[in-house]
Structures are given as structure tokens and as C-alpha cells.
Structure 1
Amino acid sequence: MSIELIKELTQLSGPSGYEGDVGDFIREKLASVGELTTDRIGNIVCRIEGSDPQAPHLLMAAHQDEVAFMVSDITGGGFLRFIGIGGWNPITLPSSPVEVISESGERHYGIIGQLPPHFIPKGEAPKVPTIDELFIDIGARSMEEVEELYQVGIGSIIVPYAPFKYNPKGEVLFSKAFDDRIGVAALIELAHLVKEKGVASTLSLAFTVQEEVGVRGAKVLAQSIEADAAIVVEGAPADDVPSNIGAPQTVLGKGAHLRIFDTSHIGHPGLFRLARNCARREGIEVQEAVRKGGGTDAREIALAKGGIPTIVCGVGVRYAHSHNSLISLSDYRNLVKLLFAVSQDMMNLE
């Protein structure tokens, strides 16, 4: 199931606030697994009853949305100005391909453009552009053509164009949106595994929305969810590329990411020890990490209902929040194994 599931999920379009296609896919995959509910903001929860009513109720959450763009203006010459939905590094954007989605759902291929180097004044050094200095070229020749022929207007959604690729030699997957469709895929696989084998704890598998624009879905989820512990499952930025940030803690192919700390959340020590012990007992490769930045849905979930013991785990993603990123399939498999092992062992939560 793994590779095809990941491919299908990452190739769906689901910018923050526009996660409908992703939500439909999740409901289709989990319709026969557990009780499904969807709230008014778009969060989906799949509840799978455990065999022991006394066992702790475990929440696991992954977010549906991806970083993307929105048309903010159309020039007289038919170029599209845009804003980012979620966090982008503008240095990665020039010449990147995108798809602009029309009112009818038709997709128009385009390229993110900037002023060519030929027109930079002599003696002036090239600089990193801001998003305000970039534009999207879909081949239109006027504003009227954009609006009438292409049916694109202010507010139209723009998504990265990045075909899925798999290299079996290194078991490496390439695509967009691993943050956080890889977490969504892991929870879908876990749901079917739990349905087949059973666990003592009742599981609530939550698929949140609008994480990339301020964990808004998690804020809504936190108002209603009842759980004794929670695991937020993420596509975690890998730090194993050439840099000067120190020794890497999330290396592709070295295991699932198990986070101790980031600036929005401190992992619960008891639940962290439980996850670590499960990994050691089952021979599951994990990598423990302390992050100096970043943030996840754990920020809201950990503070819900008087406090829910929460940790973050996931899969390392190289080049997260860009058009093209890559992950290790073995890291993903280790993540699914870890989630299942923890769900089996919740009676040992301290």
C-alpha cells in the first residue's frame, strides 16, 4: 500500500483552507475502518474502539494542508501577482512550475518568473527577490484573457507542480507536500493495521486543516477532543544537508523522527519514554531531535482540556516547504511501526 498511497496523497491539491480533495480521499480510505466525523472547519476524526475500556484513549494527528499560493492581482499584460499560503523561502521560487486552478477546476500550467539578469543595471548585484517582486506566467497576453479565457481571477488557488518519483535503488521518494501528507499516509496505514490486529486503547486519528497558517484546525479540534495522550505526526525538516548548523539529528534513512523539543512545544517526558522504550524493544530505528525553531499542531493539542500529554514524531523531509522534497521509504516504515507499537503499549504510560 505504502508507495501508491503516498503518491496519491502528495499529488492531491490541498492548500490551507482548501483541503477538500484531501479530506474526501481520507474519508474514502477510512470509511470501513472506524467512526468518521468531520467538523465545520474541515478536521476529520476516525475513531477506532479498543478492546479495553480502561486503557488510555490515544489521539494521533496529522495535517491535511500544504503550502501553496493565491492570486492577489493580475497585471494588464496578463501576469499573475500572488501571495504565499504558509511559509515559503522566496529564493526557491523563480522558474518553479505551478498549476493555477480556474473557477471550473481546470488547471493551467505556469512558471514563476522574475526580471531576467539581462535587465539588471550594470554594476548592481543580483539580489534574492521577495514574493512581491515575483509573478506567474501562464502564457496569457492580457488581464481580460486571464479572466475570460482562463477563468482565473483574484483569489484563485495556485499549487506547486511536482510529479511524484520513486528511486528503488535508495528507496527514496520525491514529491511535493510530504509536509504533511506523509503523516496522513502513516495514519491511514496505521488505521488499517489496528483494524486488522486490534489494540487495547481506543484511537482517535485526527486529520487537521490549516496547520500551515497558524494551526487553526488544531485550535478547533482542541475544544472538543477527549484524549489521555496525543502524538502529532509530521513531515519534519531533515537537517542532514551540507550546512553549518551542527551535527544532524534527522538523517534520511536513519529512522523515524522523535522530537523532544521545539519552540512551540515540549514533549511530555512520560510519553516520550514510552515511545523510546517501544522503539528499543521492537528494534525500530528512531532519531531523537531537539529543534531551535518550528512548530506543529502539538502547540494547541497539548494545552487542551487541562493538558494532554503530547509528543511529536514523523519522517525526515529534505527541502520541506518547497516545490520538490524527498523522503526515505524506510523512515516511513519505521514511523508506522513506532505508531503501532505505542498504540499497543499505552497501559504503560507514566
Structure 2
Amino acid sequence: MSSVETLAYFLEEDSLRGVMRDWPEGMQLMVRLDGAGRCELMVHHRDEAGRVLEVLRESLGEAAETLAVVPPVEGFATRRVRFSEEQQLLALAASTDGLSESAQDYAINYRFAREEGLDPEAVIGRDARRFAEEIESDLPQVSERRSARRAPQPEPEPRLFPEGFEAADDPARRECALVSAHLHGQGARVRLTLEPEAAQGNEMPVTVGNVGHSVDFGCFVLPRGALADWQPGAPLVIDMPQEQFPEAWAARFRRQTHNAQVSITAGGIFVRPLLPALAAPPEAPMVQVEEGWSLGRPLRAALVLAGMVLVGGSLMVSWSPFSVSEEVAGALQPARAGLAALAGVSEAAR
């Protein structure tokens, strides 16, 4: 969009809390970028977004028509911002000293003004929203017309790999940690648990509002700042809104916990869902063994029962001495005598 000279990008509360855990409730950040690459940060309450835009439009004067707003706002132009650019803006916010403290002070004063029925701008002051003036950044310039004023750039060398792939020894790609994880539905969220074997069940979840997906939805990425002070080997729980996922994946996570492979690099947290996690196999039933048990007891009992045939109420015993060895036949001699006694009792009873 060649007519854009100024871009107002609103970073919302959920996104900011993903990179700054102590970011106050209800507070947002507007990042103002101009065509020269300068930027200005302005903290404000989410209910003041409209007023902040009006203040910005007034300050631009006749150049107000060159203002674009992201996310789109009715009455203003907009432009497409890549996911990588949004991550740069979040990283800029997270690395700005004192920004979170400034937002906390503003939130306290704003809440006080509202409770007292006062105009927050009258209590806090219009300039209190501006945290810094003209922070220099290396973010992409928003005006395409500015590029014509730059010195000609040499032609880039032909790429050895497709876009998104580089050699492992590239200095910018030295950082890489592989972590096992679980994915499952948790209420209206999708929960990612790093190092689930080490989890105790009482970990405080980190909330991440934005999730980027690959073209085939086989992998998604989270901002690197969501890790905060996490160290490899320690558990970490990250919650993401289910609406940030295709319904097919969200439904799978609701039904069953899935394994996941997580690659942590300087560019982000890359998560690839794998097969469902297998449930633990059931334990084998306990067998109670009576005292004095021996291997011969069940064998003798089976042989005795096999030789008993009940015919017309009479107990008859049939033996086949040729079907067993002499050693086994000798072992069966006491049982044979017992059966003969039982047969005699039965005959007497008749």
C-alpha cells in the first residue's frame, strides 16, 4: 500500500501478557510507525482506543489520510502485517525498559478516575499515554514510496534452500532445544505442557493469545517470549484459545491428549502435534497363593477329577494304568485308595 506513511498497530492485552507476565489487565499498547523507520509507543486502556486514534489523526493534520490502522478500524485505512512483523513488535515491547511499570501506573490512575466519575484524560493528562518519543527500530518501513530514495541494493545471491530453510551452522540459528510435550483441550483453551513427566499439576499457566500455523496446519508457532524464565528440563504450561486452532485439531485435543514435539529457537516455539498419548496399561490382577502350595497339587487334583465319572447316581472310578508311567501311577496310588473308599460309601448308601 504505497499511500501509507504512518501505521498505528494496536497490541492487545493477551498478546502483551504472552511476553510480559506482569502486564496489567485492560491495558493495550499502540505502536506508531512512520516511513522513516521511527516508532513511538503509547500505553492506554482498551476503552480509550478510539480517543487515542483521534489524537493521532489530529497530530498528523493534513497527512491524516496516510494513516493506516491494524487491526482494521472502521473509518481508517489498513494494511496487511505479516506474522513475523507482529512478533518483532512484541519483542520491541518486551525489550523496552520500564514499559510494563508505566502501564501499571497508568492502569491505577485510570481506574481511580473511573471510580470517581472523572475524565481519565483530565486526571492523567493526554501526554501520559506516550511512553517514549521516536524509538529507533529496525522494523520494516511502512511506506513503499520511501524505497525509491534508497541507494540501489546489490542483487541477492541465489538461495540454496527454499524460503524458511537455512543451514544449521547459520549464526542466527545456533539456538535449538527439543522438548517433549502434551497437547489437550482444557475448557475453552488448548493446553500445551512442556516436560509433562516433570509436571506436578500445580503449575501456573502462561496465556498466549496469538498462534501462527504452517500452510498445512501440521505445525504451529508461539512467540519466543512466552517462555519467560523457563529452563530446559523444567515443566511449563501454556494456554491458547481454541479459536486460534482449526476445529479439526481442537476437536482432537478435546477428545484425547496428544504427544507433541517442540523445537525452541530464537525465532519462536515451534510445536508439531504427534500421535495420541497412550494410556498406561492396566495392572495384572493379584494372585493369592495359599501357604504350602506346590506344583504337584493342581496336577494331582486334575488327575483325580479326570478319573471320576458319575453314572446314574453311582460314583464309578475308571483307571487307565497304561496311560501313565509307573512313576506317575505310584504317585496316584493314595488318590486311588481314597476314591475306592468313596465308592464303597456310595454303594452302602444305596
The TM-score with structure 1 as length reference comes to: 0.22
TM-score by length of 2: 0.22
Q: Quick one: higher RCO (CA 8 Å, sep 6+), 1 or 2?
A: 1
Structure whose CA Rg is larger: 2
Q: Larger % of helix: which?
A: 2
